[in-house]
């Protein structure tokens, strides 16, 4: 491929070299961190050759070039701008410095689950496989494992592997959270092991009344020795506690005894807080979140599902959607299923349908077609930002039509009872973690196609009727 030229004058479109703090690229987009995003002329940038769209997300100016082209653009851009190459992680860290305390907190919460999600996706996929092999009625009256005894052993093996991560999930969350908040992650592992210690009463057995926990007096405080299976929210809180205590004692303990005394004090104090304060508070909080979600299902019904699926992508615009991962993890720990993921998927596909409708309505416009095809392709794999910021938010009416499409898809999710076994994947990748019960996979496809189709048709109709000015 011939090198893609970057005109020196184009640097003025981002406010000049002095406004540039860093640059990196992903598979399709050039990502720029600017001191002042308002100085960037995104409309003019969008008209440049090879550019398929531009938007601001995560405090980064992201310019879509497409696979391959972006590498050439980045090489020339860094030379012309006189900056050194940066990794994507460096750019994310640079842009995070511009965020306020609330935004940093939301990002930190998201970062905690980044390392864990691949394991959860693998486990959910394994659960999907064993579900298909074990469920009756999919391939006849008998399950596949019953029809072919030779597969029974393999199915049992897959079943064991699929649940492994969930038995230690709080431990993994404490580890990841401690690491994210700047503490020694090994201390997080130690605290996580304490949370799941076999000498503690199993939280699930205590919950159903089959086991009576031991109660001890700890400095005059009555403490129930109950483990924290499924305590995702508690694990998040304890990761923060361990990290801050580790930092505190590492600063205060003299160097000569720091090696053994600082971690000792960190574990003792965090362990005390776990059983006396953070654990009880976390249980109340997680029970409240789960109860609120289940209440919405029981009382709001189809309206609640349509409302969530209709506005979820609007939440993505604000960046608050990262919180949902923690809620999904707690929901799976408490109920074994995740009804939020299918709603998030149809919400995304509604926006994908809207950008598809935009593309079809402007098919003769090469620029619009380039932007639209690229953005639509991203939505199929669970990435909505190019569609949102490149088209839908920019022109507003596709965003609304996409929200309507998502709401209709949400209604179908409610009526068919689609659930997921994990989280972190939507659209096509999400198919792998859908629960097989009730023809879940077939209904998942129908729900997403329905949301996409409604979003696309409404957007095309709006174009034909209103003939909006897109200048």
Q: Is residue 74 part of a domain?
A: yes
Long-range contacts from 461-470, C-beta under 8 angstroms, 24+ separation:
462/397, 462/401, 463/357, 463/358, 463/361, 463/362, 464/361, 466/397, 468/395, 468/397, 470/362, 470/395
Per-position DSSP letters for 11-31, written without gaps between them: GGGGT-GGGEEEEEE-SSEEE
Q: Is residue 392 part of a domain?
A: yes
**Domain total in the chain:** 3
Question: Of 294, 312, 327, at which residue does a domain stop?
Answer: 294
Q: Is residue 301 part of a domain?
A: no
Q: What is the dihedral of CA 56, 62, 65, 70, to 10 degrees?
A: 180
Please count the other Cβ atoms lying within 10 Å of the Cβ belonging to residue 62.
Answer: 22
Residues 38 and 142 in one domain: no
Averages of pLDDT over each 10 residues, the chain, 471 residues: 50 83 77 83 78 72 78 83 64 59 67 78 77 61 73 85 84 92 94 94 83 87 88 91 96 91 95 93 85 79 91 77 77 86 94 94 84 85 80 87 96 94 84 85 95 96 81 56
Query: Token pair 């304060």 is at which residue?
Result: 277
Query: CA 131, CA 134: separation in Å to the nearest integer?
Result: 5
Residues 387 and 445 in one domain: yes
pTM of the predicted model over 0.85: no
Q: Is residue 302 part of a domain?
A: no
Query: CA 37, CA 62: separation in Å to the nearest integer?
Result: 11
Assign residue 62 the CATH number of its domain. 3.30.1360.60
Residues 138 and 252 in one domain: yes
Degrees, nearest 5: CA angle 420-336-126? 60
Q: Is residue 316 part of a domain?
A: no
Residues 74 and 123 in one domain: no
Question: Which residues belong to the active site?
Answer: 26
At residue 209, the pLDDT reads 79
At residue 8, the pLDDT reads 45
Q: Is residue 423 part of a domain?
A: yes
Q: Is residue 289 part of a domain?
A: yes
Query: Token pair 């409309």 is at which residue?
Result: 43
Residues 456 and 419 in one domain: yes
Residues 93 and 135 in one domain: no
Residues 84 and 148 in one domain: no
Residues 177 and 84 in one domain: no
At residue 7, the pLDDT reads 47
Residues 152 and 272 in one domain: yes
Q: What is the dihedral of CA 223, 224, 230, 233, to 10 degrees?
A: -20
Buried b (16+ CB within 10 A) or exposed e, 118-152: ebbbbbbbbbbbbbbbbbeebeeeebbbbeeeeeb
Query: CA 452, CA 262: separation in Å to the nearest integer?
Result: 55
At residue 205, the pLDDT reads 84
Query: CA 471, CA 468: separation in Å to the nearest integer?
Result: 9
Question: Of 231, 266, 294, at which residue does a domain stop?
Answer: 294
Residues 122 and 257 in one domain: yes
CA 48 to chain centre: 32
Query: CA 344, CA 68: separation in Å to the nearest integer?
Result: 30
Tell me the residue range of the domain where 167 lies.
117-294
Query: CA 93, CA 164: separation in Å to the nearest integer?
Result: 33
420: region left, alpha or beta (phi > 0 left; psi from -120 to 50 alpha): beta
At residue 417, the pLDDT reads 93
At residue 90, the pLDDT reads 57
Q: For the chain, first and last CA: distance in Å?
A: 32
Residues 225 and 123 in one domain: yes
Q: Is residue 91 part of a domain?
A: yes
Question: Of 236, 270, 294, at which residue does a domain stop?
Answer: 294
Q: What is the DSSP letter of 362?
A: T
Residues 136 and 276 in one domain: yes
């Amino acid at each position: 491929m011939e090198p893609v030229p970057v005109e020196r004058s184009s640097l003025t479109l981002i406010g000049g070299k002095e406004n540039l703090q860093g640059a990196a690229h992903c598979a399709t987009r050039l990502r720029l961190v600017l001191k002042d995003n308002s100085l960037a002329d995104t409309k003019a940038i969008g008209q440049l050759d090879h550019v398929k769209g531009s938007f601001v997300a995560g405090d980064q100016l992201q310019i879509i070039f497409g696979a391959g082209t972006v590498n050439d653009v980045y090489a020339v851009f860094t030379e012309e701008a006189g900056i050194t190459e940066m990794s994507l992680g460096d750019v994310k860290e640079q842009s995070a410095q511009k965020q306020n305390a609330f935004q940093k907190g939301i990002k930190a919460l998201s970062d905690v689950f980044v390392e864990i999600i691949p394991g959860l996706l693998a486990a959910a996929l394994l659960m999907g496989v064993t579900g298909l092999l074990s469920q009756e009625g999919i391939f006849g009256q008998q399950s596949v494992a019953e029809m072919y005894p030779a597969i029974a052993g393999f199915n049992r093996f897959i079943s064991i592997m699929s649940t492994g991560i969930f038995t230690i999930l709080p431990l993994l969350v404490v580890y990841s959270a401690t690491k994210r908040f700047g503490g020694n992650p090994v201390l997080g592992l130690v605290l996580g092991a304490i949370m799941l210690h076999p000498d503690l009463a199993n939280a699930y057995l205590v919950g159903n009344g089959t086991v009576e926990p031991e109660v001890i007096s700890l400095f005059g405080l009555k403490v129930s020795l109950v483990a924290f299976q499924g305590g995702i929210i508690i694990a998040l809180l304890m990761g923060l506690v361990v990290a801050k205590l580790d930092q505190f004692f590492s600063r205060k303990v003299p160097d000569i005894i720091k090696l053994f005394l600082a971690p000792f004090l960190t574990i003792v104090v965090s362990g005390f807080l776990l059983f006396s304060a953070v654990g009880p508070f976390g249980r109340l909080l997680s029970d409240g979140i789960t109860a609120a979600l289940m209440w919405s299902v029981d009382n709001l019904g189809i309206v609640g599902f349509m409302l969530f699926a209709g506005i979820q992508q609007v939440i993505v615009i604000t960046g608050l959607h990262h919180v949902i991962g923690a809620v999904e993890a707690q929901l799976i720990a408490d109920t074994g299923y995740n009804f939020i993921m299918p709603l998030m998927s149809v919400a995304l596909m509604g926006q994908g349908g809207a950008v598809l409708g935009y593309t079809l309505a402007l098919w003769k416009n090469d620029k619009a077609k380039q932007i639209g095809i690229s953005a639509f392709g991203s939505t199929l794999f669970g990435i909505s930002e190019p569609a949102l910021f490149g088209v839908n938010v920019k022109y507003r009416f596709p965003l609304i039509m996409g929200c309507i499409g998502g709401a209709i898809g949400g209604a179908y999710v409610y009526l068919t009872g689609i659930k997921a076994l994990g989280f972190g994947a939507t659209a096509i990748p999400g198919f792998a973690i859908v629960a097989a019960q009730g023809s879940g996979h077939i209904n998942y496809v129908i729900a997403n196609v329905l949301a996409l189709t409604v979003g696309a048709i409404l957007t095309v109709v709006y174009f034909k009727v209103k003939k909006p000015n897109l200048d």
